Amino acid sequence: MITKWQAYTSLLQQQAYSLSGGLPLWIRLQPICSTLEVTEITRVPIHKGRGLLKIMETDVRILLPEMDLKAASQSRSSRTLGMYTPTERFVIAHELGHLILLRNGAPKPFGASEYWKLEEVCNDFARRLLINEEAINERLGRGDYSASSLLKICAGLALDAKVPWSAAAYRISESLPDTGFFRLEPKQYGLKIVVSTFANKDRTGWIGSGKKVRQKDPLYKVLFEIKGMPGAQGQIPANVFSDILDLNLNSDCAVYHDQYGIKVAIVKAIFQ
Ligand SMILES: [Zn+2]
């Protein structure tokens, strides 16, 4: 039996394909917004949530949190609407997903569980709208699925598609099921996994996000041993992950340090 979530996902995947399929990166959102009759995209101070869709009698507005813009740039010119940061582009695309669902009669979510499922459906739409199938096939078509090569592909894809790194990481993981990405941020106790594209066994959720990697953990030491290396990219023994996650990783890992933290790609992850 097809659940309503699968039905929504498949409807949005078709819509993403018809809106941006075949277009070269980066995908321009302005024409897509016109097609979907979005009248206005406005930056407003929103403290809670990432974006808002406002549907009124005569117009449809997408509200973006002003905070994100301040973080991205203080310059006046970037306040001009039409110039969006990768995060803002993702938020706009996500809200378009909500808009399409509402126009197709999807009811508002009931309770927290439905809310988060719906969020994931709209995130999936946003990723597919901004990184179309052609872009994925072109990047992954060469067949080099080593972890270090996938880290490079992910970074390049995020840059070219003008999307957050996490969006590119999820999109690649969805296309290569044995592959996953992590992003870790430095914390007082060590590191926190802030992005994890590893799906659980039945592929209904993501695992690892929010997990702590403490300074005494073998994983922490290994990640920082690589930091000292020139180029800051290297292979790590995959088994160090099994303490942190319920994953038995028996293959290839690569890690990259940048100013925001640490990015890790892993291929051939197998559940214990
Ligand atoms: Zn949403």
pLDDT digits (tens, 9 = 90+) for 113-151: 888 899 999 999 999 999 999 999 999 988 878 888 888
- In the reported structure, the alpha carbon of residue 57 is separated from the centroid of ligand 1 by a whole-number distance in angstroms of 21
Give how far Cα 48 sits from Cα of 45, 89, 139, Å. 9, 18, 35
Distance 22 CA to ligand 1 centre (A): 26
Of 200 and 156, the one with more pLDDT: 156
What spacing in Å lies between the alpha carbon of 232 and ligand 1's midpoint?
36
Ligand 1 ion local residues (Cβ < 5 A): 119, 122
The CATH number that domain 150-271 falls under is 3.30.450
Distance 153 CA to ligand 1 centre (A): 27
Show me where the domains of the chain are located. Answer: 4-130, 150-271
Q: How many CB atoms lie within 10 A of CB 29?
A: 23
d(CA 17, CA 24): 13
Q: How far is the CA of 65 from the centre of ligand 1 (A)?
A: 13
Question: Got the DSSP string for 27-70?
Answer: PPHHHHHHHTT--EEEEE---SSS-EEEE-SS-EEEEEEHHHHH
Q: What is the mean pLDDT of the chain?
A: 83
Helix (H, G, I), strand (E, B) or coil at 2: coil
Say if residues 252 and 266 touch (Cβ distance below 8 Å). yes
The CA distance from 31 to 221, in Å, is: 48
pTM score over 0.85: yes
pLDDT(81) > 70 = no
Task: Please give the distance, rounded to the nearest whole angstrom, from the Cα atom of residue 161 to the centre of ligand 1.
Answer: 21
- pLDDT, tens digit, for every residue of 206-238? 777 888 989 998 888 888 776 655 445 666 766
Identical fold, 4-130 and 150-271:
no
Å from CA of 51 to ligand 1 middle: 7
3-state secondary structure at position 111: helix
Structurally, at CATH architecture level, domain 4-130 sits in Orthogonal Bundle (1.10)
141 C-alpha to center of ligand 1: Å? 32
Ligand 1 centroid vs 11 CA: distance in angstroms? Answer: 16
Give the whole-angstrom CA distance, residue 271 versus residue 202: 11
Residue 256 near residue 263 (C-beta atoms within 8 A): yes
Residue 77 has what pLDDT? 41
Cα-to-centroid distance, 188 and ligand 1 (Å): 31
